[in-house]
């Protein structure tokens, strides 16, 4: 139990406390579920052209070092100069009122998910020479903040840091200063940029408002925690004030560290500060928002686990009981209540908790373990037939799930589909896994996708999103070049029919192969031995097709551009950027392979761990069935012993009770009428 | 008498000699058993490390419990250590952040450039209809570059602008990829991909009004009488704004 306790607390620490930051990156993650676009237009425009080498100095992706806060604004200013030279630069002067009007539209775009458009509008404003006069105004700082924040949400951390740190030159009491710190801290918690952001924030004075210093202290604590420096982490968490949105998280994590050190009273006191409304500072829920209440539920679970660890079973039950009915953690609380009562030998209490859990009728991550515990409670209360029935049902239900988990680890496409379905919360039965619907749903409920997978998937999603946008940008650059070459020309229809580019075709082939694999899994499920031989031959054919599809994808020509002018004029700048875009796209494709492999590896790991868990539980179920047989035998022996001593077993005594023979949906109404002695007939004349 | 005492002495001696002979050679056997133990341990470690094969019934054997550990015996229902993630996600490659920053910056300035260069504009407006249809995934493309990806749930009972930007005059392809499910029964899902070619005149704004309609009754009728219908429509009306 000790190991389980520490592990579980650790799990909570990483999975739930990043909830705020997870919301921060939700947009980028969602993009992963989007179907891949084809590239007919950009590819079509490029397909007939010879690919120039990207050896030009301008085609180098960037000269910015790996750790940089360069906003890449100089490239935009080159455009501005080139446009001005051709008298194409905007001539209408900027004004505070115009900035204010534009900001309204930009904020509306950001709130409706049109982030890329908002970034473009903001770059247009902020990287203009005309903006210099307004950069320190309220509206100017707002523009810089929204640009940095939007870039950070899109995964472009380097330029985001560049814009956000600009705002740190002002007063710490300024709204945009504070918002920039919040945004940077969110970025650091969610990304791997923690150390760098921490350096960026080192200039924030200690006299800054509590909410600002609290954010920074919390970030320091999390970083120290990641580096396994618990003392530093505790010191940092202690600096988070109640006016910080992270007060509950910091206090809870301090409790986790104390518990890990086996300093239970201190850990418990810290958990209590969050869990008990009387001990919580009044302002903490106000500043903490919705996350505060999620952490409060966790703190109550933590208290229960600490009490359980110390064999204070009644206290543990009380703490678990405090988790509210509408909490996401309720199934966990009920399951652990049942475990606690079982260990306390209060089998009725354990039974009630299990019944409450089953009444929720929700899929949860403890479904399988609940089954086993339920049966073991029956075993403990000598209800051997019921225990046997439950264990048998468990074996019938979960053996196919375990087998399916093993099979799916061999199929990358299926693993991806399942992981995405679990991560996005969609129905796993509709993911096309090629396993029975019920098995797919059970798999979806049991696979415990950890925060690491979420981070890896988010990286992939961000990269995909930017690559799709880059395709669009390449098309726009081609159009811009064409416009400069012949201003009156209009864009012609693409030579390639819609959806018929090489990339489209390869993507269709890959989806067909994935579908074929699903059909084979379907056939295997319903097939007999003879058909399995035919399926083996089919599988070999599909493997060969997969290799060919991979080769076709590798042979796809990279999107390329015509060799254009070079130089400082607009056409030259556009041509340089087009070559740069091509080089970036090729680099991104190479990087994507590595990022995808990592994400897939983590998804497979989740399935392998599920296999291990189910195998353990299946072994436990089989042992339990042996115990039910032994129990039945022992109860028979006792019954025989009792009979030999003249004692009738309870089952025989109760056989005279009419209510015993009723089903659950029947009711026994004993005769309650009056007994009229004078109407009694049948006894007259009997002597 | 002497002969009897001699016999009494000889018999235990003979028995003792047998006992001595029957005992194992201490050094050799201990080494053997240690080797066997280490082999068994390494085999066990290897079997616990390897992934169970599909033909294996119960997977690898459980890891060996440390003998004689202090404290109460842990519950057999406790999970094993190897059932938890090791939390060892690798940080992204060094060039990842740089590449993403470069791409985002390039996209931003290209977009700003087209705003300056082109006077023609396209605006994509979306409207969704269908009481029981829920959109789980919604992507709008322009010339097959993605220009809008919906948040978790997309719903636009009233008109909603999803994209508005300057484009080159001439032919463009507006596309929509939409994934829907029936609110009454989530098992009934549909995926639809549509592409529309539109012509944007010089210096004009074209309003591309897209209506995503779903009148399907599969989720309600099919489970009842095995007869249902998907009725999915994507309509686009392009109008030049004067």
- In angstroms, the CA A620 to CA A626 distance is 10
Q: What percent of chain A has pLDDT over 70?
A: 80
- In angstroms, the CA A336 to CA A350 distance is 9
Q: Do B108 and A90 touch (CB under 8 A)?
A: no
Q: Do A475 and B145 touch (CB under 8 A)?
A: yes
Tell me if A295 sits within 8 A of A18, measured CB to CB: no
Those of residues 644-683 in A touching chain B at CB distance below 8 A are none
Please count the residues of chain A. Answer: 687
Q: Where are the alpha helices (DSSP H) in A279-383?
A: 284-288, 290-309, 313-321, 330-343, 347-360, 367-380
Two tokens at A288? 């903490």
Q: Containing H/E element for B145?
A: strand B145-149
**Bridge pairing between strands B121-129 and B205-214:** parallel
Return the half-sphere exposure (C-beta side, CA atoms, 13 A cut-off) of residue B173.
27
- Distance in Å, alpha carbon of B6 to nearest chain A alpha carbon: 58
Residue B68 sits at the chain A interface (C-beta within 8 Å)? no
The arithmetic mean of pLDDT across residues A29-39, rounded, is 34
Those of residues 186-205 in B touching chain A at CB distance below 8 A are 186-187, 189, 191, 193, 195, 197, 200, 202
Question: Residue A124: how many CB atoms within 10 A of its CB?
Answer: 21
pTM reported for the whole predicted model: 0.72
Look at residues A110, A33, A113, A498 and name the one whose alpha carbon lies nearest to residue B148: A113
Q: Which of A10, A79, A222, A490 to mutate to test the interface with B (most CBs of B within 10 A)?
A: A490
**Bridge pairing between strands B170-182 and B185-200:** antiparallel
Return the half-sphere exposure (C-beta side, CA atoms, 13 A cut-off) of residue B59.
24
Sign of the alpha-carbon dihedral angle for A645, A650, A652, A654: positive
Question: Which residue of chain B has the CA closest to A151?
Answer: B104
Query: In B, which residues are within 8 Å of A499 by CB distance?
Result: 195
Ranges of beta strands (E only) in A429-564 are none
pLDDT digit string, tens, across residues B62-119: 556 555 555 555 666 677 777 776 655 566 666 788 888 889 889 988 888 888 888 8
Those of residues 32-91 in A touching chain B at CB distance below 8 A are 33-35, 37-42, 61-62, 64-66, 68, 70-72, 75-76, 79, 83, 88-90
Q: Where are the alpha helices (DSSP H) in A645-665?
A: 650-653
Q: Containing H/E element for A592?
A: helix A570-644
Residue B109 sits at the chain A interface (C-beta within 8 Å)? yes
Two tokens at B126? 């979306």
Cα–Cα distances in angstroms (integers) from residue B121 to residues A458, A525, A599, B164, B229, in the given order: 32, 54, 39, 7, 38
Query: What is the reported pLDDT for A513?
Result: 79
Q: Which of B53, B97, B184 to mutate to test the interface with A (most CBs of A within 10 A)?
A: B97
Two tokens at A594? 């590595």
pLDDT digit string, tens, across residues A565-611: 666 678 888 888 888 898 898 888 888 888 888 878 888 888 888 88
End-to-end CA distance of chain A: 76
pLDDT digit string, tens, across residues A144-178: 999 999 999 888 888 899 999 999 988 888 999 99
End-to-end CA distance of chain B: 141
Written as one string, the DSSP assignment of A392-435 is HHHHHHHHHHHHHHHHHTT-HHHHHHHHHHHHHT--GGGG--SS
- In angstroms, the CA A593 to CA A678 distance is 98
pLDDT digit string, tens, across residues A266-299: 999 999 999 998 888 888 888 888 889 999 999 9
Query: In A, which residues are within 8 Å of B78 by CB distance?
Result: 1, 3-4
Rg (CA), chain A: 33
Q: Do A117 and B165 touch (CB under 8 A)?
A: yes
Look at residues B232, B111, B115, B132 and name the one whose alpha carbon lies nearest to residue B176: B232
Tell me if A173 sits within 8 A of A209, measured CB to CB: yes
Query: b vs e for B159-193, b when ≥16 Cβ sit within 10 Å of the residue's Cβ?
Result: eebbbbbbbbbbbbbbbbbbbbbbeeeeebbbeeb
Place of tokens 């979960």: A398
Q: Which residues of chain B have pLDDT under 70?
A: 1-77, 85-94, 144, 152, 242
Those of residues 290-319 in A touching chain B at CB distance below 8 A are none
**Bridge pairing between strands B133-142 and B170-182:** antiparallel
pLDDT digit string, tens, across residues A92-106: 778 888 899 999 999
Q: Which of B113, B165, B174, B195 to mutate to test the interface with A (most CBs of A within 10 A)?
A: B113
Q: Do A123 and B101 touch (CB under 8 A)?
A: no
Residue A635 sits at the chain B interface (C-beta within 8 Å)? no
Would you say residue A18 has pLDDT above 80? no
Give me the numbers of helices (H) and strands (E) for chain A, helices first please: 29, 0
> Beta partners for B164?
B123
At residue B163, the 3 state secondary structure works out as: strand
- Distance in Å, alpha carbon of B182 to nearest chain A alpha carbon: 12
Residue A80 contacts by C-beta under 8 Å, 6 or more apart in sequence? Answer: A89, A127, A128, A129
Tell me if A56 sits within 8 A of A567, measured CB to CB: no
Residue B157 sits at the chain A interface (C-beta within 8 Å)? no
Query: What is the reported pLDDT for A406?
Result: 87
Those of residues 165-184 in B touching chain A at CB distance below 8 A are 165, 167-173, 175, 177, 179, 181
The pairs formed by A384-388 with CB atoms below 8 angstroms and a separation of 24 or more are: A384/A628, A384/A631, A384/A632, A384/A635, A385/A628, A385/A632, A387/A624, A387/A627, A387/A628, A387/A631, A388/A625, A388/A628, A388/A629, A388/A632
Query: In B, which residues are within 8 Å of A421 by CB distance?
Result: none
- In angstroms, the CA A372 to CA A393 distance is 10
Place of tokens 């086996």: A262
Cα–Cα distances in angstroms (integers) from residue A564 to residues A42, A75, A88, A488, in the given order: 17, 18, 20, 19
Query: b vs e for B73-96, b when ≥16 Cβ sit within 10 Å of the residue's Cβ?
Result: eeeebbbbebbbbeeebeebbebb
Indicate if ipTM > 0.90: no
Residue B104 sits at the chain A interface (C-beta within 8 Å)? yes
Strand order in the sheet with B170-182: B145-149, B133-142, B170-182, B185-200
Residue A383 sits at the chain B interface (C-beta within 8 Å)? no
Residue B24 contacts by C-beta under 8 Å, 6 or more apart in sequence? Answer: none
Residue A171 sits at the chain B interface (C-beta within 8 Å)? no
Residue A599 sits at the chain B interface (C-beta within 8 Å)? no
Residue B111 sits at the chain A interface (C-beta within 8 Å)? yes
Residue A571 sits at the chain B interface (C-beta within 8 Å)? no
Residue B113 sits at the chain A interface (C-beta within 8 Å)? yes
Residue B129 contacts by C-beta under 8 Å, 6 or more apart in sequence? Answer: B157, B211, B212, B213, B214
Query: In B, which residues are within 8 Å of A122 by CB distance?
Result: 108
Of B148, B164, B168, the CB nearest to A483: B168
* Range with the poorest average pLDDT among A270-274, A362-366, A509-513, A554-558: A554-558
Binning pLDDT at 50, 70 and 90, where does residue A63 land? Answer: low
Q: Do A89 and B116 touch (CB under 8 A)?
A: yes
At residue A239, the 3 state secondary structure works out as: coil
pLDDT digit string, tens, across residues A116-137: 889 988 988 888 888 888 888 9
Q: Which residue has the higher pLDDT, B158 or A553?
A: B158
pLDDT digit string, tens, across residues A377-406: 999 999 999 999 999 999 998 998 898 888
Cα–Cα distances in angstroms (integers) from residue A369 to residues A6, A374, A426, A445, A478, in the given order: 19, 8, 23, 12, 59
- In angstroms, the CA A53 to CA A222 distance is 45
Those of residues 4-43 in B touching chain A at CB distance below 8 A are none
Those of residues 133-152 in A touching chain B at CB distance below 8 A are 151
Query: In A, which residues are within 8 Å of B149 by CB distance?
Result: 27, 30-31, 34, 113, 465
Query: What is the reported pLDDT for A621?
Result: 93
Query: In B, which residues are within 8 Å of A572 by CB distance?
Result: none
Q: Which residue has the higher pLDDT, B74 or A364?
A: A364
Q: Do A471 and B95 touch (CB under 8 A)?
A: no
The arithmetic mean of pLDDT across residues A656-682, rounded, is 73
Residue A375 sits at the chain B interface (C-beta within 8 Å)? no
Residue B116 contacts by C-beta under 8 Å, 6 or more apart in sequence? Answer: A83, A88, A89, A90, A124
Query: What is the reported pLDDT for A212?
Result: 92
- Distance in Å, alpha carbon of A671 to nearest chain B alpha carbon: 45
């Amino acid at each position: 139990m000790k190991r389980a306790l520490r592990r579980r607390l650790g799990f909570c620490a990483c999975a739930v406390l990043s909830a705020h930051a997870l919301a921060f990156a939700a947009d980028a993650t969602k993009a992963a579920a989007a179907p891949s676009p084809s590239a007919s237009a950009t590819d079509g425009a490029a397909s007939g052209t010879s690919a120039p080498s990207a050896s030009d100095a301008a085609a180098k992706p960037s000269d910015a070092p790996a750790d940089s806060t360069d906003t890449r604004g100089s490239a935009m200013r080159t455009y501005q100069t080139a446009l001005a030279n051709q008298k194409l630069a905007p001539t209408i002067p900027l004004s505070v009122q115009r900035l204010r009007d534009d900001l309204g539209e930009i904020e509306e775009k950001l709130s409706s998910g049109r982030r890329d458009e908002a970034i473009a509008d903001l770059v247009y404003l902020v990287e203009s020479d005309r903006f210099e006069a307004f950069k320190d105004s309220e509206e100017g700082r707002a523009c810089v903040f929204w640009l940095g924040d939007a870039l950070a949400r899109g995964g472009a951390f380097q330029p985001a840091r560049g814009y956000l740190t600009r705002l740190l030159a002002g007063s710490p009491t300024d709204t945009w200063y504070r918002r920039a710190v919040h945004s940077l801290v969110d970025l650091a918690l969610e990304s791997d940029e923690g150390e760098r952001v921490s350096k960026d924030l080192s200039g924030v004075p200690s006299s800054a408002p509590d909410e600002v210093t609290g954010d920074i202290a919390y970030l320091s604590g999390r970083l120290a925690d990641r580096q396994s420096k618990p003392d530093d982490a505790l010191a940092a968490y202690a600096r988070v004030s109640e006016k910080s949105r992270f007060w509950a998280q910091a206090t809870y994590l301090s409790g986790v560290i104390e518990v890990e050190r086996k300093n239970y009273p201190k850990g418990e006191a810290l958990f209590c500060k969050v869990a008990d409304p009387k001990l919580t500072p009044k302002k903490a829920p106000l500043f903490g928002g919705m996350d505060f209440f999620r952490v409060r539920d966790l703190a109550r679970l933590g208290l229960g686990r600490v009490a359980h660890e110390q064999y204070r079973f009644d206290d543990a039950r009380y703490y678990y009981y405090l988790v509210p009915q509408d909490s996401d953690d309720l199934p966990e609380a009920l399951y652990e209540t049942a475990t606690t009562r079982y260990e306390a030998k209060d089998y009725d209490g354990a039974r009630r908790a299990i019944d409450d859990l089953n009444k929720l009728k929700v899929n949860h991550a403890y479904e399988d373990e609940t089954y086993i515990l339920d049966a073991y409670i029956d075993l403990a209360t000598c209800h051997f037939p019921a225990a046997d029935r439950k264990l048998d049902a468990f074996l019938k239900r979960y053996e196919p799930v375990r087998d399916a988990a093993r099979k799916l680890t061999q199929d990358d496409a299926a693993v991806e589909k399942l992981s995405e379905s679990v991560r996005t919360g969609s129905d796993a039965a509709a993911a096309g896994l090629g396993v029975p619907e019920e098995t797919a749903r059970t798999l979806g409920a049991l696979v415990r996708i950890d925060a690491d997978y979420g981070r890896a998937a988010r990286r992939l999603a961000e990269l995909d999103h930017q690559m799709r946008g880059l395709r669009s940008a390449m098309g726009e650059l081609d159009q811009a070049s064409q416009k400069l070459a012949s201003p009156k020309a209009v864009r012609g229809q693409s030579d390639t029919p819609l959806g018929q580019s090489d990339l489209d075709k390869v993507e269709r082939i890959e989806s067909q192969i994935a579908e074929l694999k699903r059909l084979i899994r379907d056939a295997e499920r319903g097939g007999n031995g003879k058909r399995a031989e035919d399926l083996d031959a089919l599988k070999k054919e599909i493997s060969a097709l997969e290799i060919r599809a991979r080769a076709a994808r590798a042979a796809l020509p990279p999107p390329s551009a015509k060799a254009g002018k070079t130089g400082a004029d607009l056409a030259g700048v556009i041509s340089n950027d087009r070559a740069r875009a091509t080089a970036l796209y090729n680099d991104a494709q190479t990087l994507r392979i590595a990022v995808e492999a990592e994400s897939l590896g983590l998804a497979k790991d989740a399935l392998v761990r599920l296999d291990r868990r189910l195998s353990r539980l299946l072994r436990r179920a089989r042992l339990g069935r042996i115990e039910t047989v032994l129990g039945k035998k022992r109860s028979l022996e006792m019954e025989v012993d009792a009979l030999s001593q003249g004692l009738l077993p309870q089952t025989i005594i109760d056989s005279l009770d009419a209510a015993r023979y009723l089903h659950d949906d029947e009711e026994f109404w004993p005769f309650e009428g009056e007994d009229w002695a004078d109407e009694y007939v049948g006894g007259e004349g009997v002597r | 008498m002497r002969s009897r005492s001699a016999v009494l002495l000889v018999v235990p001696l003979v028995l003792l000699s047998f006992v001595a002979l029957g005992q194992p050679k201490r050094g050799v056997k201990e080494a053997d058993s240690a080797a066997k133990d280490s082999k068994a341990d390494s085999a066990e470690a290897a079997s616990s490390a390897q992934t169970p094969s599909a033909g294996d019934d119960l997977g690898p054997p459980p890891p060996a419990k440390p003998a004689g550990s202090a404290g109460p015996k842990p519950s057999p229902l406790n999970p094993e250590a190897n059932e938890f993630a090791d939390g060892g996600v690798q940080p992204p490659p060094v060039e990842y952040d740089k590449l993403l920053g470069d791409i985002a910056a390039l996209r931003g300035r290209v977009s700003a450039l087209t705003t300056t260069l082109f006077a023609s504009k396209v605006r994509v407006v979306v409207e969704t209809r269908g009481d029981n249809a829920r959109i789980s995934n919604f992507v709008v493309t322009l010339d097959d570059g993605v220009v809008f990806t919906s948040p978790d749930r997309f719903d636009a009972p009233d008109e909603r602008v999803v994209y508005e930007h300057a484009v080159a005059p001439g032919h463009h392809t507006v596309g929509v990829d939409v994934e829907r499910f029936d609110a009454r029964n989530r098992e009934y899902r549909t995926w639809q991909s549509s592409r529309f070619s539109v012509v944007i005149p010089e210096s004009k704004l074209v309003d591309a009004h897209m209506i995503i309609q779903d009148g399907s009754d599969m989720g309600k009728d099919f489970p009842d009488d095995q007869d249902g219908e998907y009725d999915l429509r994507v309509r686009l009306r392009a109008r030049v704004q004067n």
